[in-house]
């Protein structure tokens, strides 16, 4: 089992390394994609910003000088001159140049409208917000829409959005003819925001997978421990069954001895020997049934409780000095579907713990086993084991049903763990610690479904 545990831990360590490498690679990839996405956004933003005010040349009223012969354009030097004689490189002669506009008003308006409409469509296709503002931070264009005519409240909201966008990305200055005429505020795309969450989502999923694997390995280790104890219990039952069978045979031979009838002391001793051997045989049967689903049949719970209590009271040496054991139950019988051998073992375990707790007190103590059916119409019957012993420390009360936990020297810590399994898994009941106060006492409760209640 030790080697198996090592192999599992090596697997967990290897899986953890692979998971963290994958997480690091995924996180690095997301960062690279975010940077690439940001560059793309900035490129589009710069492109859009660059055409918001590129129309000064198109709309320049100064115009140009054109050759009246061939139409060759020449830059206009003196704005006050409407007509001039200049050398035309095409005509290879001095010709008359006259002032003309770069574009006709209709042509200029068409170019401006087409360009603005083209980039308005481009901005509308973006998945991140954009706001163009002048030097006084007055919004001019928001998400491709001119803000002229917007109500004051909406303009105020746009200014708040500008502050938020400035926190996400540094505003891009818009420069025309060497002068900054405004700034472009832009935010983060929806895809970029979602990609930033990917590492955290992956981490959560990996932690969830790790928790599931951990719980699986923990259950496997617990199962291995349970199987080892089951194997030990079955082997013990097998080993003691042979001498027990021999003892039972010798007792039967002694019963047939004619000299026995004349010796009352020997008869009494033989009766007790027979009862103890039968007791040992029932114990062997219990250990032999460990790990197997027991066969349940209708039994009287009052009878099962009485047999266990009577067994202890008939052997005062099991109780110890100053310890008394009493039973409180009605004369009525209540039938459950159960296994009397295993339920008897559960009660014995609780009574032995109570005896040990009372025996550690100077004056001993009283143990009461009660079997009550208190609620009319209820489908369960309750068995309580109460003692006046030293109690269970508060710090240990949450661990008493854990396998291997014990407060007694030399104890195995399996009694209450197996008792819970027998009651809850095999009999569909429940066992719990009702109360325990140091130096006052302890109360355990067992609830079992009645036949005709939960079985129907």
What does the pLDDT look like over 135-184, one tens digit per residue? 888 888 787 777 877 888 888 899 998 998 888 888 877 765 566 777 88
Nearest to 12 by CA among 227, 226, 206: 206
166 contacts: CB under 8 Å, gap ≥ 6: 185
| Half-sphere exposure at residue 412, Cβ-oriented, CA atoms within 13 angstroms | 11
User: pLDDT value at position 456?
Assistant: 38
**Ordered DSSP codes for 80-92:** T-SEEEEEETTTT
Q: Which residue ranges of the chain lie beneath pLDDT 50?
A: 1, 53-56, 454-456
Between the alpha carbon of residue 61 and those of residues 57, 102, 188, 269, the distances in Å are 9, 8, 40, 134
3-state DSSP percent of the chain in helix, strand and coil, to 5:
50, 20, 30
Task: Map out the domains of the chain as residue ranges.
Answer: 64-100, 295-449
Residues in the chain: 456
Separation between Cα atoms, residue 337 and residue 294, nearest integer Å = 11
User: pLDDT value at position 5?
Assistant: 60
Give the strand pairing for 323-329 and 365-372: parallel
User: pLDDT value at position 387?
Assistant: 93
- What are the φ/ψ torsions at residue 199 (nearest 5 degrees)? -60, -35
User: pLDDT value at position 8?
Assistant: 64
With beta carbons less than 8 A apart as the criterion, state whether 44 and 223 touch.
Answer: no
What pTM does this model have? Answer: 0.47
What's the fold here for domain 295-449? Answer: Heat Shock Protein 90 (3.30.565)
Using only C-alpha atoms, the chain has a radius of gyration, in whole angstroms, of 47
290 contacts: CB under 8 Å, gap ≥ 6: 229, 230, 233, 234, 418
User: pLDDT value at position 56?
Assistant: 47
DSSP annotation of 426 reads I
């Amino acid at each position: 089992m030790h080697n198996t545990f090592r192999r599992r831990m090596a697997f967990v360590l290897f899986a953890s390394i692979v998971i963290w490498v994958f997480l690091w690679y995924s996180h690095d990839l997301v960062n690279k994609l975010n940077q690439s996405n940001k560059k793309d956004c900035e490129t589009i933003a710069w492109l859009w910003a660059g055409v918001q005010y590129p129309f000064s040349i198109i709309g320049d009223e100064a115009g140009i000088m054109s050759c009246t012969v061939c139409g060759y354009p020449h830059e206009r030097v003196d704005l006050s001159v409407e007509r001039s004689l200049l050398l035309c490189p095409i005509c290879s002669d001095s010709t008359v140049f006259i002032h003309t506009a770069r574009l006709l008003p209709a042509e200029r308006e068409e170019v401006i409208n087409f360009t603005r409409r083209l980039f308005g469509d481009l901005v509308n296709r973006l998945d991140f917000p954009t706001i163009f503002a002048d030097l006084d931070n007055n919004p001019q264009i928001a998400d491709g829409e001119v803000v002229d005519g917007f109500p004051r409240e909406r303009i105020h909201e746009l200014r708040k959005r500008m502050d938020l966008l400035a926190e996400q990305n540094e505003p891009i200055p818009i420069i025309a003819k060497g002068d900054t005429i405004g700034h472009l505020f832009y935010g983060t795309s929806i895809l970029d925001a979602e990609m930033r969450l990917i590492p955290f989502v992956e981490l959560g999923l990996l932690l969830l997978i790790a928790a599931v694997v951990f719980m699986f390995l923990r259950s496997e280790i617990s199962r291995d421990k349970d199987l080892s104890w089951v194997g030990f219990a079955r082997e013990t039952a097998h080993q003691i069954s042979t001498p027990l069978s021999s003892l039972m045979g010798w007792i039967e031979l002694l019963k047939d001895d004619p000299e026995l009838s004349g010796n009352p002391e020997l008869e009494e001793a033989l009766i007790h020997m027979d009862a103890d051997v039968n007791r040992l045989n029932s114990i062997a049967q219990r250990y032999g049934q460990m790990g197997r689903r027991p066969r349940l049949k209708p039994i009287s719970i009052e009878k099962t409780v009485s047999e266990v209590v009577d067994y202890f009271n008939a052997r005062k040496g099991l109780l110890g000095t100053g310890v008394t054991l009493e039973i409180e139950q009605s004369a009525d019988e209540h039938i459950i579907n159960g296994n009397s051998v295993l339920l008897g073992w559960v009660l014995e375990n609780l009574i032995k713990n109570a005896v040990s707790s009372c025996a550690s007190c100077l004056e001993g103590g009283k143990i009461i086993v009660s079997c009550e059916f208190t609620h009319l119409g209820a489908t369960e019957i309750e068995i309580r084991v109460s003692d006046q012993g030293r109690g269970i420390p508060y710090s240990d009360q949450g661990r008493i049903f854990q396998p291997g936990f014990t407060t007694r020297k030399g104890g195995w810590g399996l009694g209450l763990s197996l008792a819970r399994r027998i009651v809850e898994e095999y009999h569909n009941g429940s066992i719990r610690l009702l109360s325990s106060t140091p130096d006052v006492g302890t109360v355990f409760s067992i609830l079992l479904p009645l036949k005709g209640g939960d079985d129907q």
